[in-house]
A and B are shown apart, each in its own frame.
Chain A
Amino acid sequence: MENGKHHAGGEERRNGVISATAIHSFLSHVFYLRMVDAVAPSHHPLHVERDGGWLAGRPAPRVRQRLGGARSAIHASIPHPVAGPVNVNRATWGRDPPRRQRWAPDAWSLGAPEKKRGAHSLQVVAFILCCLAFKSEPIFVRRDEGKMAVEEARRVEEEEEVEQRAWSWGAGTDGQLGTSGLRDELIPQPVSLPSVSLLSCGGAHVIALSSDGTVFTWGRGSSGQLGQGNIVNHCVIPKAVAFPEGFRITSASAGWSHSGFVSDCGRLFTCGDGTFGQLGLGDFSSQCSPIEVSYFASKHVAQIACGMRHSLVLLKGEIQNQVYGFGTCKRGQIGTVDVRTKSVNLPLVIDGFENTEIVSISANGDHSAALSDDGNVYNWGRGFRGSPDAYIPGRLDTALPIKQVALGWNHALMLTDGGEALMLGEHICGFSSDPTKMGSVNFPDGRKGVVLGRVATLNGVKVVDIAAGSEHSVLVTEDGSVKTWGWGEHGQLGLGDSGDHVLPQVLILDQDVANDQVKCKVYCGSGFSFAIKTRNIPM
């Protein structure tokens, strides 16, 4: 999406919003609260949740926060500590910056100077009166800036607030849904999260990076994968993870039972299950607090991807040795290793990317994948159904440039530059694209017979985001619709039952009338899913 797209569309025309620009202008003077880092909103002089917000129907917890300086103003009505946003490195979205901007707006990576602040009781009263006067309707204002130059659009965006809503559904018996419960949820449940810039879902735990750089984890922590310094079987609400002073985490990945974190200066930390060497610390012990992987102390790590029992690391600024792996190697997950070796506890270079710049890596189950800057997908590790394991990265011959890859345990989703979703392999319940099947594809390295197809029933609507659970899939189309398909026994499709679906089904998150103004991202853990909708609100 273009950066400016969020602003297009003219003024809001909701009932009860009269002369929205004027109201907004007024409110922008009375709205701001002073937000001290990590102070619970209940301590705020103003703690008002206005119902009937921008997403009608199921009200989800909402975080509104102003993009800007280190201590920006915030509107919050959530039960967790929230801190103001600062710069967030967007390298984790999986593309090199020049190309990434085109399809993954860097809406969170802004650092505009703060404007006004202050929380005076008079302002609070004015705000409440104003809400009453306008029937508590949301006051969201849009600016018509269709003709704005890109630079101007960006400047305006820097002065915006963002508002987020999050939902989770699926397997929840380890607290991984973040809903304070320990049960499966068959339909999307609103979740109170800090304003999130990145989410990563593992076997039964979740890592969230908040916009201010704080790392939160929740879910199963029986191997120390939550990094909270102790073993917890179930952590049902997000808790902050402590890192050594001076390290700001900008990227993270949750594996089956381990976790990896990358700092802005390129340092790597891991915690959780180390039984297979997947922490890369030189031994097979497990850790309940993030430990720096000293092997990379003199290198700059760009990304980590954690699979079931292995990890991949992508370095920044390296041409020869860009991708490393450690952990179990029995099925080729970390490339070619002596056949007698079952696992490796120190990083090893994965060969096969000469003359190619890798921009992102993925790992899930026993699969590994890398995406190059020219849109090629390389895949190694366990073979998808019908193909043997691969011990050398092989370029997948899709004939279409790919911009995003999501791996499951027996399938992979790929998003093309043109907004098509492709599927490699199949879910436990079958393949999704009979009507438009592209047939099996071969790898140049000789592997044959992997089933590749276009995801069906999209009717030409472009896809903007994809996510893969172990046996289910989620995508977002350009009109803001979320679709799920695959295995549904734990409600991970969010459709209200536990049935499987071969074809993508529309998931009801809300009755939002302005989906095209909202950016939706989806994330999948093994048997559960998250969706986060973010809306920019012009100041």
Chain B
Amino acid sequence: MSYDDVEIEDMEWNEELQAYTYPCPCGDLFQITKEELRLGEEIARCPSCSLFITVVYNLEDFADGSDRNRRLQPSKQQTVAVA
């Protein structure tokens, strides 16, 4: 059973993982790549445990592989200020 339904806009783009992520209750991150989204996959899995979530998104935003989905990428992965 899907742990949760999460809108794509609530997921964070992780540059290192090249995937959209969302916190998993085990401490790791649910992950789904742009390619998976483009193929219509809606399950984001946690690499550490058996849980998965259902990603709610518009397939058209990813289907053509264009930059239309750029708006879905919040300005995340900002540089962390080092004092």
Contact = CB atoms under 8 A, between A and B. Distances in A.
B50 interface: yes
Interface in B6-43: 9-10, 12, 23, 25-28
Given A409-B25, A428-B25, A171 B48 contact: yes
Interface string A201-224: 001100000000000000010011
Interface string A411-423: 0000000000000
A231 B16 CA distance: 14
Contacts of B3: 428
Contact of B50 (A220, A342, A409, A489): A489
A287 B80 contact: yes
Interface stretch (A51-59, A96-104, A398-406, A521-529): A521-529
B65 to A, nearest CB: 26
A275 B23 contact: no
Contacts of B56: none
Given A285-B78, A525-B27, A489 B83 contact: no
Contacts of B28: 171, 173, 204
Contacts of B12: 275
A256 interface: yes
A489 B26 contact: yes
Contacts of B59: none
Interface string A476-516: 00000000000101100000000000000000000000000
Contact of A230 (B51, B75, B79, B82): B82
A308 interface: yes
A171 B80 contact: no
B80 A288 contact: yes
Contact of B26 (A231, A286, A289, A527): A527
Given A224-B80, A428-B3, A173 B74 contact: no
A527 B78 contact: no
A203 B27 contact: yes
A160 interface: no
A229 B26 contact: no
A173 B48 contact: yes
A490 B83 contact: no
Contacts of B10: 330
Given A275-B78, A428-B3, A288 B26 contact: no
B25 A286 contact: no
Interface residues of A, number: 36
Contacts of A157: none
A176 interface: yes
B70 to A, nearest CB: 17
Which DSSP category, helix, strand, loop or mixed, fits chain B's interface?
A: loop
A284 B49 contact: no
B81 A470 contact: no
Contacts of B49: 489-490
Nearest to B77: A275
B76 interface: yes
A176 B10 CA distance: 26
Contact of B80 (A204, A231, A308, A525): A231
Contact of B74 (A174, A275, A526): A275
B27 A286 contact: no
A291 B82 CA distance: 11
A204 B24 CA distance: 11
A248 B49 CA distance: 39
A528 B26 CA distance: 8
Interface in A285-318: 285-289, 291, 308
A299 B81 CA distance: 26
A308 B74 CA distance: 17
A171 B23 contact: no
**3 cross-chain pairs, A with B, having the tightest CB-CB distances, nearest first:** A470-B25, A289-B83, A527-B26
Interface of A: 171, 173-174, 176, 203-204, 220, 223-224, 229-231, 256, 275, 284-289, 291, 308, 330, 342, 409, 428, 469-471, 487, 489-490, 525-528
Given A174-B27, A330-B10, A489-B49, 12 more contacts: A171-B26, A171-B28, A173-B27, A173-B28, A173-B48, A176-B27, A231-B82, A285-B81, A286-B79, A289-B83, A527-B25, A527-B26
17 contacts: A171-B27, A173-B27, A173-B28, A173-B48, A231-B82, A275-B78, A285-B79, A286-B81, A287-B80, A289-B82, A308-B23, A428-B25, A469-B25, A471-B25, A489-B26, A525-B27, A526-B25
